[in-house]
Structure 1
Amino acid sequence: MQGDIVSTVLLPLALAFIMFSLGLGLTPADFGRIVRQPRALLVGVACHFILLPLACFGMLQVAGIGGAFAVGFMILAACPTGTTSNLLTYIARGDVALALSFTAVASVLTIFTLPLIVSFALEFFAGSGQKVAAPVGAMMKQMVLMLGLPVAIGMTLRYWKPGLGQRIEGTCTKIASVLFILIVVAAVAKNWVLLRDNFHTLAPFALALNVTMLACGFGMAWLARLSRQQSVTLGIETAIQNGTLAMVIGSSVLKQDAFALPGALYGVLMYVSGLAFAYGMRRAVNRVHAGEPAVAPGAGSPP
């Protein structure tokens, strides 16, 4: 998007509002839970901030995807977990408290990790040996303004005016959901020809990446002997990404249409496998409650 008002003003403002709505649902106690369950959080951080970018990079190499689309997928892999991961965790009967804590921590850590990963991706996938100087300082400033500050404002409002914060949280969440849909639709519409010509390559890769990370997040948590609830949660938190942020970074910060397309596509397709996973885990819990053996392994008891 060529520096127009949509990419330079509307997209960042929409993302800031989405993060503000997330902040309304967070309290200092959500960060306090980290102290009580550090192992689950550390496994989640390892899966999301180390395993996900490495897996994405390896899959790009195997699939032979390079250039701008590869940069776009790496931007996506560097983003924090999507805000809807908390809803999917609830549907799956996972550990919602852990999901909230991880979402809060991921939003903060991303301010520092995303510029580094994107810098690497730009240099590695620029093509023809071209070296691209990533605006690390500018990206870090953008992360603070679009992620850290809105979340902090939302949390502050929830803390000082709990009644008001709780009253508007539901409405803000609905508005944020609509904004997310509009952002995806706008990105797809503006770049329809580019997306149509590459859909057969990008869509299968996006789905494969999502399914792989659902399995990796769940599997790593299970190997760490976390509970079934925590394993389900970390599977979702590892795979559900903030596609809106990926589009903003690609179109508003780096100012290239193609960088934003993987985020737009993944932001839609991740719900196909994400919802299937969530309802599959929910069904397994219902079977346990009905006295039938659970399908999914895990070390903990169902919610």
Structure 2
Amino acid sequence: MGSVFTSIALPVALAIVMLGLGLGLTRADFERVLRHPRVTLAALACQIVVLPAACFALVLAFDLPPALAVGMMLLAAAPGGTSANLFSHLFRGDVALNISLTAVNSVLALVTLPLIVNFSLGWFGAGADHLGAQAKTALDVVVIVLLPVLLGMLIRFRRPGWADQMDRPVRRASFTILVLVMLGAIITNWALLAQEFGRLSVITVLFCLLSLTVGFVVPRRFGASHPQAVATSFEIGIHNATLAIVVAQTVLGSTELSLPAAVYGVLMLPLAIGFGTLVRSRYGLRPEPAA
């Protein structure tokens, strides 16, 4: 039963999530990032360089076991999650920029995620047999990430009306899938999670708060408006925990590696709401009601 969940259910679940992302994307979303090059480059640098480096420092400071250390690095390497778009909408961020960054980050992750994961596997000595399989890891990431996104974009191009109709149902399904995937990862490794929950909860909370703060402050230094900074904070601060769990269990074949992402996925939601509320009160803004 467990192998069926790992080999079939998880990839299918992620495919639905990424298909939903693709349904909301157009070519204009990729072109839009060129209109704000300084903000875009600052956000991408935070996502690809700053946060993995910060996560690496946290992992060393907390002296996590090798599998959990690699799991944290896998989470840091994951692009922004689809929930970031919703939070940007609620707290009056530039949702169009948010969607554009999600699209670009998802494509870049095809290269950056295997690089960071393989580096982590070598450094922490967890599953060293995967080190020589970087090309396969990248190919697997392409299959489970890029192809569903491209299919969603093709559907939107061919049948935009149907894509609009499916947007809300697919978003709801994606949220349900996210919850089920996290619960599955937690239940599968309950004993290890109970043993390491203290350290994992602290480090994931710190990492989430650091990600949200960096995502807001750094782009502001590069000229981002307040709505743009809100968008980048959620894009950078809300990592794709579902992708991290699926890569851990299906590509790397380890449920232990998925635990940090599962804990992060649970704790991230109230932290993101609290962060958005704090930023809103600081700038005297009110969130829009949920659709």
Normalising TM by the smaller chain, what interval? over 0.9
Matches within 5 A, 1:18-33: 18-33=17-32
Question: Structure 1 residues 17 and 43, CA, compared in 2 at 3 Å: closer, same or farther?
Answer: same
Matches within 5 A, 1:26-65: 26-65=25-64
TM-score, structure 1 as length reference: 0.90
Aligned position for 1:179:
177
Q: Is the 8 A contact 1:92 1:280 kept in 2?
A: no
Matches within 5 A, 1:268-287: 268-285=266-283, 287=284
Supply the distance in 1 between the matched residues of 2:10 and 2:150 (Cα, whole angstroms). 19
1:237 is displaced (CA, Å) by 1.3
1:25 is displaced (CA, Å) by 1.0
Does residue 205 of structure 1 match 2:203? yes
Moved more, 131-140 or 221-230: 131-140
Matches within 5 A, 1:1-303: 4-126=3-125, 131-134=128-131, 135-285=133-283, 287=284
Question: Where in structure 2 are there 5+ consecutive unaligned residues?
Answer: 287-291
Percent identity between matched residues is 37
Larger Rg: 1
What is the aligned-residue RMSD (CA, Å)? 1.6
Q: How many residues end up aligned between the 2 structures?
A: 285
TM-score, structure 2 as length reference: 0.94
Paired AA for residue 233 in structure 1: A
Structure 1: 4+ residue segments shifted above 6 A: none
Question: Structure 1 residues 177 and 131, CA, compared in 2 at 3 Å: closer, same or farther?
Answer: closer
Cα deviations across residues 151-174 of structure 1 (Å, max 9, x unaligned)?
Answer: 111111111101111111111111
1:271 is displaced (CA, Å) by 1.2
Supply the distance in 2 between the matched residues of 1:184 and 1:288 (Cα, whole angstroms). 32
Question: Structure 1 residues 201 and 82, CA, compared in 2 at 3 Å: closer, same or farther?
Answer: same
Supply the distance in 2 between the matched residues of 1:81 and 1:132 (Cα, whole angstroms). 28
Supply the distance in 2 between the matched residues of 1:75 and 1:29 (Cα, whole angstroms). 30
Paired AA for residue 103 in structure 1: T
1:273 is displaced (CA, Å) by 1.2
SS at match of 2:253: coil
Supply the distance in 1 between the matched residues of 2:226 and 2:239 (Cα, whole angstroms). 22
Query: When you count helix as a share of all residues, which structure comes out higher?
Result: 2
Q: Is the 8 A contact 1:91 1:282 kept in 2?
A: no
Question: Where in structure 1 are there 5+ consecutive unaligned residues?
Answer: 290-303
